Structure 1
Amino acid sequence: MSKNRLSGEFPRFGPESNLELSSNEFSGAIPSYFGSAISMLLMSDNNFSGEFPQNFRNLSNLIRLDLHDNKISGDFASLTSLLPSSLEVLSLRNNSLKGSIPEGISNLTRLQVLDLSENNLDGYLPSSIGNLACLIMSPESSSSVMRPWLLFFTDEESFREIKTQDIFSFAVNWKKSRQVLFHRNFYLYTLVDLSMNKLQGEIPASLGNLRSLNVLNLSNNEFSGSIPQSFGDLDKLESLDLSHNNLSGEIPKTLSKLRKLVRGGFPP
């Protein structure tokens, strides 16, 4: 039901519903009555506000949470403690989250896409971000728990098949442009976007552990110090943006090993 003008009181869906309600006009607090079996919750581009409800910790089967372009506030570290370890996608771009990224971010062991850009996050980036297990080893195409097919019957004798991977897509800033990632080949995409926040201090060398990472965007923050030598180990990296920080020193020669880095992916 995405891309409509739906508003008003948020409806109660069944306990196993996967919800695609992006680009509507829902407002108020984030709903707190989802069933524990839900695996996809896509409610971006609405007007939800306030902090996350406590019962999100009970959504043990949730693999995709997309709430970008809302007005969600609160402390990100507190929010992280509510998120299930099953998450593969966490997209909270363009909200009003504050505070630091906690060491516990590494508990999201299945995370493939982490988009926290355009918030008010500050403090130091923890070294534990280099322990995200699914970004260290290549994610498998079979990792998703979605049912592979939906059947839509048009009459008694015919029907058409729609792949759910084409329905449950989501958008990210991929190589400096907005791209739609489809479920059918989602296992190909890995991204960490922390741009346009107020993160400071040195960039942790542990990020070099994330060898399956395709896109890393740390631009428009307050990072200082040098670019880690370990970035040369990101052999699947296709785009690296470190622009608009306070970095100094030489560009590591190890970056010459990044054969998949596309032209323009690394800023001058």
Structure 2
Amino acid sequence: MGVEYILLSNNNLTGSLPPFLFNSHNLVVLSLSRNNFHGELPSNIGNATTLSVLGLVDNNFSGKLPASIVNIYALTLLCLSNNKFSGNTLPDFRSNEHLQLIDLSSYEFSGEIPTNFSHHTRILALGKNNFSGNLSRNLIHLGKLEYLDIHDNKITGELPNFICQISTLHTLNLRNNPLHGSIPNCISNLTNIQILDLSNNYLVGEIPAKFGNLVVMETTINFSYLNLSYSVASIHLNVDLIIKKNNIDDVTIIWKKSKQDLSLDRLKIYYLLDLSIVKL
């Protein structure tokens, strides 16, 4: 029986990842966040088909994501933010039906906003990249999406009406993009929204009167935002725990010049509407 869990986060480890690490048929969790690893990810990363959690946050990895990464069919959490990955295309994750949390923020990715993710995706963090162009209508196919963060990119065009069809959204963060035009009236269809951040864009016109229909922002509700449990061998790992281990704080609130990072596992207590620095 081989090693199932490798938890080496919060150290000062260096070097590149050895390819033999991904030849394991037993590895379930690989957490190497907040170290000083560098170089490209091994091309054989897809050999680790039993890997459920891959956390490489806050390192110096570079290059493109290996195409074989989509062969990790058991992958549930992919947390790779704050590295130096680049490229204008991403691997096609649509066949990764277990993959629910994808954090590819703070890279140097470019091109159009990718939508080649599984319809089981619940959390998609793509902030602080160089993505450009209009939002793709294919986002509506992510039928379980609760958290969409594309802040600090170069997304252009108007805020499209089809965004209102993603009724499962609890958090929508499009801050710091050159979006223009008006806020669509149908935004009131997002009845589950708790955090809506459209600040630092070029929006014009009036605030839709139907904003008053966003009742979740008005009332306190009790829902488990990240109650995603999955079975690993004979035990259950909770996504909340992995998020805490990887320190995912991808919602940054700037309120009266004060910046505050909100952890995903505590989003259930926050209700926020930010339209600041827009030309309403």
TM-score interval for Structure 1 and Structure 2 normalised by the shorter chain: 0.5 to 0.7
Is 1:133 equivalent to 2:200 in the alignment?
no
Who is 1:187 aligned against? Answer: 268
Using the size of structure 2 for normalisation, the TM-score is 0.63
Matched residues in 2 for 1:30 and 1:181: separation?
Answer: 24
- Change over 3 Å in CA distance of 1:164–1:127 after alignment to 2: farther
Between stretches 34-43 and 169-178, larger displacement belongs to 169-178
Aligned residues: 191
Instruction: Summarize the Cα distance change of 1:86–1:16 in structure 2 as closer, same or farther, 3 Å threshold.
Output: same
Match of 2:171 in 1: 89
Question: Structure 2: how far apart are the matches of 1:71 and 1:128?
Answer: 28
Deviations 1:222-266 (A, max 9, x none): xxxxxxxxxxxxxxxxxxxxxxxxxxxxxxxxxxxxxxxxxxxxx
CA 190–42 in structure 1, closer or farther in 2 if over 3 Å, else same: same
Structure 2's unaligned 5+ residue stretches are 1-79
Alignment-derived partner of residue 108 in structure 2: 25
Residues 1:7 and 2:86 aligned together: yes
Contact 1:16 1:36 in 2 (8 A): no
Please give the alpha-carbon distance, in whole angstroms, between the structure 2 residues aligned to 1:131 and 1:89: 16
Q: Which residue of 1 aligns with 2:66?
A: none
Query: How big is the alpha-carbon RMSD for the aligned residues of Structure 1 and Structure 2?
Result: 2.4
- Provide the secondary structure at the position in 2 that maps to 1:74: coil
Contact in 1 for aligned 2:90/2:114 (Cα 8 Å): yes
Structure 2 counterpart of 1:169, one-letter code: D
CA contact (8 A) 2:173 2:195 kept: yes
How far off its partner does 1:89 sit?
A: 0.4
The CA deviation string for residues 139-165 of structure 1, in whole angstroms up to 9 with x for no partner, is: 3242x25415797x9xxxxx9x97144
Seen in structure 2, the aligned counterparts of structure 1 residues 197 and 79 have a Cα distance that, compared at 3 Å, is: farther
Contact 2:254/2:260 (8 A) holds in 1 = yes
CA distance in 1, matches of 2:206, 2:98: 38
Q: Which residue of 2 aligns with 1:61?
A: 144
Aligned to 1:52: 135
Q: Equivalent residue for 2:205?
A: 123
- Structure with the bigger RCO (C-alpha within 8 Å, sep 6+) is 1
* One-letter amino acid matched to 1:22: S
Identity value in percent: 40
Could you tell me which of 147, 172, 179 is aligned with 2:253? 172
Residues 146/51 of structure 1: CA separation in 2 closer, same or farther (3 Å cut): farther
Q: Residue 26 and residue 146 in structure 1: after superposition, are their counterparts in 2 closer, same or farther (change >3 A)?
A: farther
How many Å apart are 1:124 and its aligned residue? 0.7
Unaligned 5+ segments in structure 1 are 154-158, 200-268
* 4+ runs deviating over 3 angstroms: 148-151
Counterpart CA distance in 2 for 1:44 and 1:128 is: 28
Residues 49-70 of structure 1, C-alpha deviation per residue, up to 9 Å, x if partnerless?
A: 0011111111110000000000
Q: TM (normalized to structure 1)?
A: 0.65
Q: What secondary structure, in the 3-state scheme, does the structure 2 residue paired with 1:163 have?
A: helix
Q: Is the 8 A contact 2:105 2:127 kept in 1?
A: yes
